[in-house]
Amino acid sequence: MSYDLLLDHLKKTTALGQVSGLLGWDQETQMPSKGGVQRAEHMGALEGVLHARRSDPQVAEWIAAIDIDRLDTAGKTNVSEAEKAYKTATKVPADLAEALAKHAARSQGIWAKARAAGSVADFAPTLKEMINLKRQEAEARQEGNASRYDTLMDDYEPGMKTSEMAALLSDLRTGLVDLRGRIGDSGKAMPVLQGDFSKDKQMALAQALPAIFGYDWEAGRMDLAVHPFCSGNGGDVRLTTRVDEGNPFDCIYSTIHETGHGMYEQSIPNADSLEPAYSYASMGVHESQSRMMENQIGRSRAFAEHLFPMFKAHFGEIGVETADDFHKAVNNVRSSYIRTESDEVHYNLHIMMRFDIERALIEGELEVDDLEAAWNERFEADFGVAVDTPANGVLQDVHWSVGLFGYFPTYSLGNLYAGELFAKMQSDIGGLDGMISKADLAAPLEWLHRNVHDHGRMKAPGQLIEDAVGHKAGASALLGYLNAKFGEMYGV
């Protein structure tokens, strides 16, 4: 009886959380530009209701009365997730939770305008307040020896500690810097696309791609946003992308990336049930699905056999004549300002920079007044290029404006997980390249359903990957994949 009451409470709380998600999606895609102030009030009011439900003393009473040994795996997960949410909510004052929600809604619009204007000064006061609020939240929730940043990162990758993440990224960084150096020394130049890449043509091609990667259009839609994202789960999973008429790869690979997220959300069994057990495992696991679709599959030589003629059909002449040259153009390695447009060799270096900077911001080792200078200095040291405008620098990502501190490292963790999963998939599925070249992804998607999606949130993320591949995840699989791929392309 107590479990049934708790589950009903959890489902209604999840439903309200999904309403908040829809408001966030609307703000980024459809909301009138002057609606930001009202939307902040909407989000704050809804967060107040959610916080009250999560911290309701009745939740603790129900949990105490449940005989956990009589529940199945899903039931045990539902109870543990409810207990974790309750502990978090009771530590964070209601007024702080509401203030964070309202400020995130306001901050998003301020960031977008500051980015368009290239003005850090326009965004700095808003960012200062967000960091102040996130520090307060972290301090309210801290347990034991956990740092502020540990506490916030746990929201996205449960159980992960800063020290463990730093060690993983350090192993990856060593290999990436070595590979980048060898590529630079090769002196080889890759082909470059040229042609008419209008918005309408890009969107027509983008619309044709998600179904290839297992996305169900009857359970989703796609819109434009300043910063691409995926929202929703189960029968309502919404994608966004963006268009740069000078760079069609930005739109196409942003679309494939977000499709990977959407496919995962649509593939978890019973996702419509609103039970916590049937949610995604972690953001690292989430990113493994999007990064694998984007990179190991979408940027592969095999998939170029399918994507190249699609590009020709949508854009006409594009400046390259073969699938092989198209593949090289897709995978051109060069320093670039924008994380989401970067190649696979540089991408994780972008994440490592953000990981170090945002950790310093949260721990009080760096303040907003010094942020732009710190960013520009680190970027030039890591990438050998001076930042030309804040829109290409510290203002390029939406994450800090909405308080997503602790999220960035899950991108690199997702790459590590993707490397492990794809290596095992290649071992388990004979003729995988041939399937990918024909855009027949039924077998790899079934493998992912069985090994990742079907488990929902019922395994810890690290254990989920370890069970799927047979060992603890590390950097070697990803580095092996990158060295093989780019070693062949660049002769290094």
Domains of the chain: 2-141 (no CATH), 145-492 (1.10.1370.30)
pLDDT grade for 227, boundaries at 50, 70 and 90:
confident
Segment 35-84, tens digit of pLDDT: 999 999 999 999 999 999 999 999 999 999 999 999 999 999 999 999 99
CB 318 within 8 A of CB 311: yes
pLDDT grade for 454, boundaries at 50, 70 and 90:
very high
Average pLDDT, rounded, for the chain:
96
The SS3 call for residue 8 is helix
- How far is it, in rounded angstroms, from Cα 7 to Cα 18? 16
CB 105 within 8 A of CB 26: no
Query: Does the pLDDT of residue 447 top 90, yes or no?
Result: yes
- How far is it, in rounded angstroms, from Cα 289 to Cα 414? 8
Query: Does the pLDDT of residue 340 top 90, yes or no?
Result: no
Segment 3-33, tens digit of pLDDT: 999 999 999 999 999 999 999 999 999 999 8
> Which residue from 432, 490, 167, 112 is spatially nearest to 303, judged by alpha carbons?
432
Using the Cα atoms of residue 216, residue 217, residue 221 and residue 225 in order, give the sign of their dihedral: positive
Q: What are phi and psi of 236, to 5 degrees?
A: -140, 85
Q: What percent of the chain has pLDDT over 90?
A: 98
Segment 135-176, tens digit of pLDDT: 999 999 999 999 999 999 999 999 999 999 999 999 999 999
- How far is it, in rounded angstroms, from Cα 183 to Cα 480? 15
What type of residue is 285? V
C-alpha distances out from residue 429 to 192, 195, 333, Å: 33, 37, 29
0.85 surpassed by pTM: yes
**What's the pLDDT score for residue 435?**
98
What type of residue is 461? P
Segment 390-411, tens digit of pLDDT: 999 999 999 999 999 999 999 9
**Helix runs in 429-475, H state only:** 432-437, 442-451, 461-469
pLDDT grade for 296, boundaries at 50, 70 and 90:
very high
CB 336 within 8 A of CB 346: yes
C-alpha distances out from residue 221 to 129, 173, 291, 313, 453, Å: 34, 37, 20, 23, 21
What positions carry a catalytic annotation? Answer: 258
Q: What percent of the chain has pLDDT over 70?
A: 100
Segment 179-209, tens digit of pLDDT: 999 999 999 999 999 999 999 999 999 999 9
b/e map 321-354, b = 16+ CB within 10 Å: eebebbbbbbbebebbbebbbbbbbbbbbbbbbb
